[in-house]
């Protein structure tokens, strides 16, 4: 079954699919697969069904709420939703329910989407793995023994398992791109400020919010809805006026490729998949993709100072840190080693590093490189065996050296499914553009995905679909009778 947002939108608008049928299908998949992958921490079954019935009544009267009318979503459990628990992956917030809703969530709801549940995250979004002391590990639908990646762990796993058509995630150092790469789905963090973030984050100069989806084409629609200013976010950019779903010419693009950054070793089979994907795109899109040599220095010390010291500002005053898990507690405790001079020096160094990144895009339009240099690893680990980090506190940065640099620079960066390793695991191709060129990155990814990995399903999902079709575990004969064009088959 096609879980494309665009296909579902067409089917609901045409009347060939009801929102209730779609929500029931999502709930059936969550019941069947969530015990395996642990992607959802909360599921709002009755509320979602009630909202779906309301959407169907309105559609029957010729009224659609917006472009996402009746389409379910999963929301990362770092985003505030009024009067809903926001546990943030932490026992310290297990009973916390905010009184207001984050801008990105509200925009999806206003566009007609139905929040079906909250997805898992590492504690306060601090780590790049899917390991959580509060929820337990979130597992990869391609191999449940392995991690989904993080910190938008559940958002990536829920998509790969086709539990929902789209999810919302956040990215302060790679947190939508890492799980997208490991789970074989699409995610983009926009230019810093493209999608407003709220409430305030101690790492606001690194933090991005954005949708995650099965395809870039779906994300193009979702970004149209998510982007634009909000008075609560002082970094939010004016709407760029671009329609991200509108195809634009890409043949004259100057595209650069680097197989690594900072001399980091890439697992050979990941390197093979990336190089094959780049060669495929060069031919299929008639592009001259040229290697680039980058003399950037690894900005890990800059990132560590801003990341760790910022968390200290936000949470170091907590009277009792014992409610936090050991990993996040250690991060907060480590923040005391930094003083104001360290923080300001890191801020200046960040500006210098960002300048070197921006200078690159005077000569090229897009940069291609691996999203992550490793395959997914054991679900209960913070890092794969054999990978150490220069950071004593942030072990996950040892295997994510290609994502956090673009949080420091604020450039738009997407992870596009590139192919599978010999172990049957997804590999992500990262596509980076100059600041404010979000629409160009999205246009390239929409063209590129048709020639790569697009729409392959994890064995877990394929087996479940075959077993569930036409049975009690798949209660919606209606939903299985239409094809990806939204027409009955």
Supply the pLDDT for residue 319.
60
Question: Within a domain: residue 191?
Answer: yes
Measured on CA atoms in the order 326, 145, 188, 367, is the torsion positive or negative? positive
Contact between 215 and 236 (Cβ < 8 Å): no
Integer angstrom CA distances of residue 209 from 188, 191, 212, 226, 233: 9, 10, 10, 9, 12
Q: Phi and psi for 22 in degrees, rounded to 5?
A: -65, -45
Supply the pLDDT for residue 24.
98
**274: Cα within 13 Å, side-chain hemisphere:** 26
Question: Within a domain: residue 44?
Answer: yes
Question: Within a domain: residue 487?
Answer: no
State both tokens at 103: 């801008």
- pLDDT by residue for the chain (489 residues), tens digit each? 688 999 999 999 999 999 999 999 999 999 999 999 999 999 999 999 999 999 999 999 999 999 999 999 999 999 999 999 999 999 999 999 999 999 999 999 999 999 999 999 999 999 999 999 999 999 999 999 999 999 999 999 999 999 999 999 999 999 999 999 999 999 999 999 999 999 998 899 999 999 999 999 999 999 999 999 999 999 999 999 999 999 888 878 999 999 999 999 999 999 999 999 999 999 999 999 999 999 999 999 999 999 999 888 878 766 678 999 999 999 999 999 999 999 999 999 999 999 999 999 999 999 999 999 999 999 999 999 887 788 878 889 999 999 999 999 999 999 999 999 999 999 999 999 999 999 999 999 999 999 998 678 999 898 877 665 433 334 333 433 333 333 322
Q: ∠ CA 213-218-223 to the nearest 5 degrees?
A: 90
Tell me the Ramachandran region of residue 262: left when phi exceeds 0, alpha when psi lies from -120 to 50, beta otherwise.
left
CA distance 432 to 90: 32
State pTM to two decimals. Answer: 0.94
Supply the pLDDT for residue 468.
58
**405: Cα within 13 Å, side-chain hemisphere:** 26
CA distance 382 to 214: 25
* Terminal C-alpha separation, the chain: 12
Q: SS3 helix, strand, coil % of the chain, rounded to 5? A: 40, 15, 45
CATH of the domain at 280: 3.90.1300.10
- Which long-range CB contacts under 8 A does 443-446 form with residues at least 24 apart? 443/244, 443/247, 443/248, 443/250, 444/250, 444/253, 444/366, 445/186, 445/188, 445/216, 445/219, 445/414, 445/416, 446/215, 446/216, 446/217, 446/220, 446/247
Question: Within a domain: residue 486?
Answer: no
**Would you call the peptide bond into 151 cis, given omega within 30 degrees of 0 as the criterion?**
yes
What is the DSSP-derived secondary structure letter of residue 269? H
Q: Phi and psi for 203 in degrees, rounded to 5?
A: -120, 45
Q: What is the dihedral of CA 438, 443, 444, 446, to 10 degrees?
A: 120
Q: What is the dihedral of CA 208, 415, 169, 122, to 10 degrees?
A: -100
Centroid of chain to Cα 403: 12
**Would you call the peptide bond into 199 cis, given omega within 30 degrees of 0 as the criterion?**
yes
The total domain count for the chain is 1
Residues of the domain holding 402:
5-481
Question: Within a domain: residue 72?
Answer: yes
State both tokens at 439: 């629409």
Question: Within a domain: residue 475?
Answer: yes
CA distance 210 to 135: 23
Residue-by-residue DSSP string for 346-405? HHHHHHHHHHHHHHHTTT-SEEEEES-SS---BTT-SS-TT---S-SS-GGGGS-TTTHH
Q: Which tens digits make up the pLDDT trace of 34-87?
A: 999 999 999 999 999 999 999 999 999 999 999 999 999 999 999 999 999 999
- Return the SS3 of 488: strand
Q: Give the other-Cβ count within 10 Å of 92's Cβ.
A: 22
State both tokens at 109: 């709801």
Please name which of 118, 147, 124 lies closest in space to residue 37, comparing C-alpha atoms. Answer: 147
What is the DSSP-derived secondary structure letter of residue 247? -
Supply the pLDDT for residue 57.
99
Integer angstrom CA distances of residue 357 from 106, 202, 205, 437, 469: 33, 24, 16, 14, 49
Please name which of 304, 382, 320, 378 lies closest in space to residue 133, comparing C-alpha atoms. Answer: 382
Question: Within a domain: residue 489?
Answer: no
Question: Within a domain: residue 405?
Answer: yes
386: Cβ contacts below 8 Å, ≥ 6 apart: none
Q: Give the other-Cβ count within 10 Å of 479's Cβ.
A: 20
């Amino acid at each position: 079954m096609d879980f494309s947002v665009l296909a579902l939108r067409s089917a609901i608008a045409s009347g060939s699919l009801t929102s209730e049928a779609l929500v029931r299908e999502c709930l059936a998949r969550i019941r069947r697969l969530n015990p395996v992958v642990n992607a959802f921490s909360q599921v709002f079954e009755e509320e979602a069904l009630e909202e779906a019935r309301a959407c169907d009544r309105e559609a029957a009267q010729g009224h659609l709420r917006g472009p996402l009318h009746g389409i379910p979503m999963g929301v990362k459990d770092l985003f505030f939703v009024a009067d809903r628990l926001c546990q943030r992956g932490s026992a310290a917030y297990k009973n916390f329910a905010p009184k207001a809703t984050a801008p990105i969530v509200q925009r999806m709801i206003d566009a007609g989407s139905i929040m079906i549940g909250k997805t898992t995250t590492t504690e306060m979004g601090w780590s790049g793995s899917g390991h959580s002391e509060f929820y337990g590990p979130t597992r990869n639908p391609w191999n449940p023994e392995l991690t989904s990646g993080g910190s938008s762990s559940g958002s990536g796993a829920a998509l790969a398992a086709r539990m929902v058509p789209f999810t919302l995630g956040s990215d302060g150092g790679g947190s939508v791109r890492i799980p997208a790469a490991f789970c074989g789905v699409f995610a983009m963090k926009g230019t810093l400020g493209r999608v407003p973030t709220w409430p305030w984050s101690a790492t606001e100069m690194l933090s991005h919010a954005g949708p995650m989806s099965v395809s870039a084409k779906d994300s193009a629609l979702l970004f149209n809805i998510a982007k634009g200013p909000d008075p609560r976010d002082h970094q939010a950019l004016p709407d760029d006026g671009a329609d991200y779903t509108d195809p634009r010419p890409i043949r004259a693009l100057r595209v650069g490729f680097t197989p690594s950054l900072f001399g980091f070793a890439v697992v050979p089979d990941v390197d093979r998949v990336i190089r094959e994907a780049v060669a495929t795109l060069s031919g299929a899109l008639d592009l001259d993709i040229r290697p680039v040599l980058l003399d950037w220095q690894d900005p890990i010390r800059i990132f560590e100072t801003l990341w760790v010291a910022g968390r200290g500002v936000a949470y170091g005053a907590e009277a009792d840190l014992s409610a936090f898990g050991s990993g996040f507690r250690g991060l907060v405790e480590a923040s005391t080693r930094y003083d104001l001079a360290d923080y300001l020096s890191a801020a200046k160094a960040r500006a210098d590093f960002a300048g070197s990144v921006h200078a690159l895009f005077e000569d090229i339009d897009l940069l291609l490189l691996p999203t992550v240099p490793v395959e997914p690893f054991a679900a209960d680990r913070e890092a794969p065996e054999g990978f150490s980090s220069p950071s004593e506190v942030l072990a996950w940065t040892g295997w994510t050296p290609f994502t956090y640099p673009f949080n420091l620079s604020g450039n738009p960066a997407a992870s596009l499914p590139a192919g599978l390793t010999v172990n049957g695991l997804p590999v992500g191709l990262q596509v980076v553009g100059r600041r404010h060129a979000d629409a160009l990155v999205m246009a390239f990814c929409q063209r590129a995905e048709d020639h790569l990995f697009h729409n392959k399903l994890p064995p877990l999902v394929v087996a479940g679909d075959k077993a569930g079709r036409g049975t009690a575990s798949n209660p919606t004969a209606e939903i299985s009778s239409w094809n990806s064009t939204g027409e009955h088959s």
